[in-house]
Copies of this chain bind each other. A is one copy, B any other.
Amino acid sequence: MANLTLVQAINLALVQEMEKDERVMILGEDVGLNGGVFRVTEGLFNRFGGDRVIDTPLAESGIIGTSIGLAMSGQRPVPEIQFEGFLGPAYDQICSHAARMRTRTRSAFTVPMTIRVPVGGGIHAPELHSDSPEAIYAHQPGLKVVMPASPYDAKGLLISAIRDPDPVIFFEPKRIYRAFREEVPEDEYTVPIGKARTVCEGEELTIVSWGASVVQCMQAIERSNDSIELIDLRTIYPIDMDAIEASVKKTGRCVIVHEAPRTSGFGAEIATQIMERCFLHLEAPVQRVAGFDTIMPYYKLETEYLPDADRIEKAINEIRAY
């Protein structure tokens, strides 16, 4: 066991999977000698060489499109997109090809590829370095969408993603890349895709969140006197509704917290499925604490935009009082 940051846990997962499986290749912008702008791939270039850790031209569609070809040919590419704001140029290759290849060819061709992408706000970065597009990709059939909230999960989920026979978008919440450490086993292990984690149990209200916001949820819970259950989704698609359903049927109240804009964010899907599954158990409408229907502001205002413990606390109180 080692006490690792999320960055270190991901690095460790990459090292172990590359050692285990020759088919694994890393490609992207600055992932080589520089070790990635967040140093997630640090040391890999020296360890595995330029054939397996490849600095590509500055072209996201190229990175994903060639990764699709690599995957179709039998490799296990792990492309990195430098920031979630630069997924845009690759959107078409992801949604028109990676997501569709298995369906289109009835499994004659498949795309076992893990797209690693730093995600979310809060690091004082320029424009397009702070967004949360998980709902976009969750709406695209054929993709799995994963977002860990802790070093332990990051390692285990990334190993699952790399071994998954289908394309996975692996969002890495950059605000907590180095925010805290956690005991992470050195041996390899997997955390299954599609299973949520109950961070803490409670009886009176359920909070559902994912990614870096889980930290703010915990802060709000610590402040509260209520008995609150916190579910860290871990996987956005396929969603673990069984876990949410069981919790909400117990508590009757639910708050969902995410950074992405409120309208058509993934919180809407969860709230709707809760209504579908737990209608007669609900004591109050499911509440969302989310980003706003605006462009994520530059960093002078970013903390106003991101859900913080205050806003979560308000939601808890409102829903408890309902």
Check: A12 CB closer than 8 A to any chain B CB: no
Contact A295:B139 (CB < 8 A) given known A88-B91, A269-B264, A272-B271 = no
B275 and A135 contact, CB distance less than 8 A: no
Check: A138 CB closer than 8 A to any chain B CB: yes
Looking at the assembled complex, report how far the CB atom of A152 sits from the nearest CB atom of chain B, in whole angstroms: 27
Contact A295:B99 (CB < 8 A) given known A91-B91, A268-B271, A272-B271 = yes
Check: A141 CB closer than 8 A to any chain B CB: yes
Looking at the assembled complex, report how far the CB atom of A100 sits from the nearest CB atom of chain B, in whole angstroms: 5
Which residues of B sit under 8 angstroms from A48, Cβ to Cβ?
none
Contact A275:B264 (CB < 8 A) given known A100-B295, A103-B295 = no
- Per assembly, the copies of the chain total 2
Check: A54 CB closer than 8 A to any chain B CB: no
Check: A286 CB closer than 8 A to any chain B CB: yes
Which residues of B sit under 8 angstroms from A177, Cβ to Cβ?
none
Interface residues on A, range: 35 or more
Contact A295:B261 (CB < 8 A) given known A88-B91, A91-B88, A279-B285 = no
Q: For residue A267, which residue of chain B has the nearest CB?
A: B272
Query: Per-residue CB proximity of A116-154 to B under 8 Å, as 1/0?
Result: 000000000001100000011011111000000000000
Looking at the assembled complex, report how far the CB atom of A113 sits from the nearest CB atom of chain B, in whole angstroms: 17
Query: Per-residue CB proximity of A241-273 to B under 8 Å, as 1/0?
Result: 000000000000000000011011111110110
Contact residues of A between 49 and 91, Cβ < 8 Å to B: 61, 85, 88-89, 91
A260 and B139 contact, CB distance less than 8 A: yes
Check: A294 CB closer than 8 A to any chain B CB: yes
CA distance A136 to B294 in the complex (A): 15
**What are 13 of the A-B contact pairs (CB < 8 Å)?**
A61-B89, A88-B92, A100-B295, A135-B264, A139-B261, A139-B264, A141-B294, A142-B294, A264-B269, A267-B272, A271-B271, A272-B272, A279-B284
